[in-house]
Amino acid sequence: MQPRLGSFGSLEDGKDPLFRTGNQANRPLPLRLLQFFVLLLGIGIVFSFLSMYSSRHVHVQSVHPVVQTNIQPCIQEPMNIKDLIKPPFSLLHDMNDTVLFWRASLVPTIKDYPFRRIPKIAFMFLTRGPLPMAPLWERFFNGNEKLYSIYIHSLPSYEPDFLPSSAFYGKQIPSQVAEWGMMSMCDAERRLLANALLDISNEWFVLVSEACIPLQNFSIIHRYISRSRYSFIGAFDEPGPFGRGRYDDQMSPEINLTNWRKGSQWFEVNRKLAIDMVRDTTYYPKFEQFCRPACYVDEHYFPTMLSIESPHRLANRSLTWVDWSRGGAHPATFGKADITEKFFENMFGSEQCFYNNQPTALCFLFARKFAPNALDALLEHSSNFFGY
Ligand SMILES: *[C@@H]1O[C@H](CO)[C@@H](O)[C@H](O)[C@H]1NC(C)=O
Ligand SMILES: *[C@@H]1O[C@H](CO)[C@@H](O)[C@H](O)[C@H]1NC(C)=O
Ligand SMILES: *[C@@H]1O[C@H](CO)[C@@H](O)[C@H](O)[C@H]1NC(C)=O
Ligand SMILES: *[C@@H]1O[C@H](CO)[C@@H](O)[C@H](O)[C@H]1NC(C)=O
């Protein structure tokens, strides 16, 4: 604001001497009138030039800030490795999905990075709006800033209100409406992956929801994911109407009945699989056309596609615990009254699984679904229950 005020000041200053020129009282009246009109005209012209200039100037500045900086003849810095590997300054952009996915699928063909790359876990929050568990996640993230990044996809109408001090501040990506069971849900997941792929340091990609919580401290989760030979995505061959029954013959030959897989949408994949998911044009059209409710595409598309392309890279299980035992179309949601030591003991002891082909009891790193009213109890006991 300062320079603007300053320039107005000098304009005002310039006005007075104009009026004061000459000893006007001695001239005849018509001449003085003429002089007066010429002055008015002059001032008018000056003002219209000024306003034209300033409106153009403001226009250029607000609409094309990039163009403006590019044409400035400043000293060109030589291209540097730091510029090439820097993550985007802001998560906002106006690339549509076509452009974004193309950009995100660019892959270096030389395997070794010519710089010290600290691989990060990208936590991708697929939400409708608010993140009620944010304070718990912040406690979980605290102190590990070099090892993670955050991306949030929410309803486009949602306006986040995180404080600048929050780990979630400015982590919103350009989003579109996503509906459960529809292709728009898979589009949102690919959009999250694509945005996260733009940061070359992201190596693992974890999809979570607003109802998810982390069950272990950051170091345990980081070690578990980074040392795994497999990516964690649920993928099983289920006979019956809710599994194979959703397959449509018209998907062959790209997808046969024996290829058909089902799994929960909450996955963890490495960079290679993330790129495969973003760049896919083989399976996508088949699912878009032939997997519509009661075929819930978000339960089948990625598990089936990845099982065809990279079966040996999949653990075929999810890292996210969920309780389907009550039956029905939705898993159980847990509130304040459920948050007890016994509840989590049961959860941790509930299953045996394989980790790098060895049996283990540590099968789940995340859990869902938790209601907002569970937050206080979770915060109170997080160090006891989860070690953070
Ligand atoms: C996205 O933008 C590109 C270039 O502007 C255009 O060619 C493409 O058709 C657009 N895609 C969609 C899905 O609108
Ligand atoms: C994380 O949890 C493990 C086991 O509960 C513990 O040994 C370790 O010290 C914890 N790490 C941090 C950084 O708190
Ligand atoms: C599906 O079956 C056809 C015919 O047997 C075969 O050519 C095709 O490769 C199969 N597709 C996949 C993805 O295995
Ligand atoms: C996951 O399932 C695929 C078949 O879809 C299989 O080839 C692969 O070995 C399985 N992964 C593990 C870790 O068992």
The answer to which of 44-48, 133-137, 213-217 has the lowest mean pLDDT is 44-48
For the CA of 308, the closest atom of ligand 3 is 13
Q: Measuring from atom 1 of ligand 2, which residue has the nearest CA?
A: 217
Q: Is 61 in the pocket of ligand 1 (CB under 6 A)?
A: no
304 vs 258: CA distance, rounded Å: 10
208 vs 322: CA distance, rounded Å: 12
What's the gap in Å between 377 CA and the centre of ligand 1? 47
The answer to which of 51-55, 133-137, 300-304 has the lowest mean pLDDT is 51-55
Q: What is the mean pLDDT of residues 227-255?
A: 97
Stretch (H or E) spanning 141: helix 134-141
- Pocket test of ligand 4: the residue of 229, 255, 308, 314 to mutate, having most ligand atoms within 8 Å of its CB, is 314
Q: Is 367 helix (H, G, I), strand (E, B) or coil?
A: strand
292 CB neighbour count, 10 Å cutoff:
15
Name which of 323, 349, 317, 353 is nearest 338 in CA terms: 323
Q: Measuring from atom 12 of ligand 4, which residue has the nearest CA?
A: 315
pLDDT of 16 strictly over 50: no
Local confidence band at 47 (pLDDT 50, 70, 90 cut-offs): low
326 vs 119: CA distance, rounded Å: 39
For the CA of 388, the closest atom of ligand 2 is 14
The pLDDT value given to residue 169: 97
- The model's pLDDT over 183-223, given as tens digits with 9 standing for 90+, comes to 999 999 999 999 999 999 999 999 999 999 999 999 999 99
Q: Tell me which residues have their CB closer than 6 angstroms to ligand 3.
A: 252-256, 259, 308
Percent of the chain residues topping a pLDDT of 70: 81
Q: Measuring from atom 5 of ligand 2, which residue has the nearest CA?
A: 387
pLDDT of 109 strictly over 80: yes
pLDDT of 123 strictly over 70: yes
pLDDT of 382 strictly over 70: yes
143 vs 145: CA distance, rounded Å: 6
The pLDDT value given to residue 284: 98
Task: Classify each residue of 111-122 as buried b or exposed e, where b means 16 or more C-beta atoms within 10 Å of its C-beta.
Answer: eeeeeeeebbbb
Averaged pLDDT score across all residues of the chain: 87
The pLDDT value given to residue 46: 58
Task: List residues bridging with 360 in a β-sheet.
Answer: 353
**Strands annotated E in the chain:** 120-126, 148-153, 202-209, 213-214, 268-270, 320-321, 353-355, 358-360, 366-367
Local confidence band at 242 (pLDDT 50, 70, 90 cut-offs): very high
363 vs 318: CA distance, rounded Å: 8
- Measured in Å, how far apart are the chain's first and last C-alpha atoms? 46
* Residue pointed to by tokens 């964690």: 232
What's the gap in Å between 388 CA and the centre of ligand 2? 8
Q: Tell me which residues have their CB closer than 6 angstroms to ligand 2.
A: 217, 219-220, 387
Q: What is the mean pLDDT of residues 121-135?
A: 97
pTM: 0.82
Give me the sign of the Cα torsion angle 112, 117, 119, 123.
negative
Pairing of strands 353-355, 148-153: unpaired
The pLDDT value given to residue 3: 38
What's the gap in Å between 95 CA and the centre of ligand 1? 8
The pLDDT value given to residue 251: 98
Looking at the chain, how many residues does it have?
388
Nearest ligand to the C-alpha atom of residue 261: 4
pLDDT of 326 strictly over 90: no
